[in-house]
């Protein structure tokens, strides 16, 4: 059992928790993830490590309540326990030698982008961050990004805060003005990462994307997390849990990944509604 040492509501649908898991805390690097089960018989879900406190042996996770399992997790309070917590899984984001980097986060993806920005900042790299949200009330981690970035662009889809538009807007402007980056690192919805990649393509800037497909074991045993890369005209199958989650954006078959991510859409909607109904019954 793994204890929840802290819980913080970041916005109406995004929650941050610190979980006691000393072995994971000792090892986890930016870009890696964990897999957890909330209760006996719960589903296994992957979440990216949003930070670690090595002294207290805790791992920070930030998640959006999108399905039945995250809903169940959101009901857990400080001091309570979750059943399983395993990691760190996947490979860490490759940061060696980067001097000038653009970090682009979308929605809850910003939680994953933040430790990467922090690590780069601490390495002395020049960090430009672009973070995007649907609207002002969904904004998270603004202060953190401000302190780790040399330049910060905040975008909202509806213009309710900062600038209105997609994260690709400031990226395109910077690139067109001759802005140079060693690397663009983007984390967020698949469609956003696809458009970031397309925006960067004419300028030839390397793009790293962080993939988060359906997973079960997270050790390379099931292949459920597989995705297709186009490497020099050849199709190559990779397992996101062990070969990733980071990949070269220019190689990823985003359309296939988006299609695969909807495999259980029906099931998930029903499970989510059931969990909500169950909860309503409990509180009534």
Partner 1 sequence: MAKANMSLLRNPMPAQEPLVRARNFDEVALGYSEETAIDEAMRCLGCKNMPCVDGCPVKIHIPDFIAEIKKGDFEAAYQIISKSSSLPAVCGRVCPQEKQCESKCIRGIKGESVGIGRLERFVADWHNTFCLEDPVKPQSNGHKVAVVGSGPSGLTCAGDLAKKGYEVTVFEALHVAGGVLVYGIPEFRLPKAIVAKEVDTLKKLGVKIETNVVVGKTLTVDEIFDMDYEAVFIGSGAGLPNFMGIPGESLKGVYSANEFLTRSNLMKSYRENPTTPIMKGGKVAVVGGGNVAMDAARTALRLGAEKVYIIYRRSMQELPARHEEVEHAIEEGIEFSLLCAPTEIIGYTNPNDPRDPKNGFVKAMKRIKMELGELDARGRRRPVEIEGSEYEIEVDTVIMSIGTSPNPLIKSTTDGLEVNARGGIIVNEDGLTSRGGVYAGGDAVTGAATVISAMGAGKTAASAIDEYLSK
| 147 φ, ψ (degrees, to nearest 5) | -75, -20
Query: From partner 1, ligand FES, none, which one binds at residue 169 (CB under 5 to 8 Å depending on kind)?
Result: none
Query: From partner 1, ligand FES, none, which one binds at residue 241 (CB under 5 to 8 Å depending on kind)?
Result: ligand FES
If the CB atoms of residues 8 and 26 are measured against partner 1, the closer one turns out to be: 26
CB of 256 to partner 1, least distance (A): 5
Binding to partner 1 by residue 75, rule CB under 8 A? no
- Sole window of 81-89, 100-108, 115-123, 150-158 interacting with partner 1 (rule: CB under 8 A): 81-89
- Sole window of 102-110, 126-134, 173-181, 268-276 interacting with partner 1 (rule: CB under 8 A): 268-276
Number of residues that bind partner 1 (CB under 8 A): 43
Rounded Cα distance, 236 and 241, in Å: 15
Rounded Cα distance, 130 and 117, in Å: 11
End-to-end Cα separation, the chain, in angstroms: 29
If the CB atoms of residues 3 and 172 are measured against partner 1, the closer one turns out to be: 3
Rounded Cα distance, 208 and 222, in Å: 25
Binding to partner 1 by residue 222, rule CB under 8 A? yes
If the CB atoms of residues 202 and 220 are measured against ligand FES, the closer one turns out to be: 220
């Amino acid at each position: 059992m793994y204890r929840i040492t802290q819980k913080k509501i970041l916005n109406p649908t995004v929650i941050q928790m610190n979980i006691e898991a000393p072995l994971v805390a000792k090892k986890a690097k930016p870009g890696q993830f964990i897999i957890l089960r909330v209760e006996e018989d719960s589903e296994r879900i992957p979440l990216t490590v949003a930070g670690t406190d090595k002294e207290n042996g805790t791992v920070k996770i930030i998640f959006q309540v999108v399905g039945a399992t995250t809903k169940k997790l959101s009901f857990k309070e400080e001091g309570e326990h979750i059943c399983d917590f395993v990691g760190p899984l996947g490979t860490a984001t490759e940061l060696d030698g980067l001097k000038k980097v653009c970090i682009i986060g979308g929605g809850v993806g910003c939680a994953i982008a933040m430790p990467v920005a922090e690590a780069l900042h601490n390495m002395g790299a020049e960090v430009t961050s672009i973070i995007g949200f649907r609207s002002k009330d969904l904004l998270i981690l603004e202060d953190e990004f401000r302190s780790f970035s040399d330049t910060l662009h905040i975008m909202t889809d509806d213009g309710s805060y900062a600038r209105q538009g997609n994260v690709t807007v400031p990226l395109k402007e910077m690139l067109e003005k001759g802005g140079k980056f060693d690397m663009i690192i983007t984390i967020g919805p698949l469609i956003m990462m696809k458009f970031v990649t397309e925006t960067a393509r004419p300028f030839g800037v390397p793009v790293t994307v962080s993939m988060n497909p359906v997973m079960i074991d997270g050790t390379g045993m099931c292949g459920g997390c597989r995705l297709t890369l186009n490497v020099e005209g050849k199709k190559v199958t990779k397992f996101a849990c062990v070969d990733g989650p980071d990949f070269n954006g220019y190689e990823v078959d985003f359309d296939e990944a988006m299609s695969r991510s909807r495999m259980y859409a029906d099931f998930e909607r029903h499970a989510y509604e059931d969990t909500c109904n169950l909860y309503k019954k409990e509180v009534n």
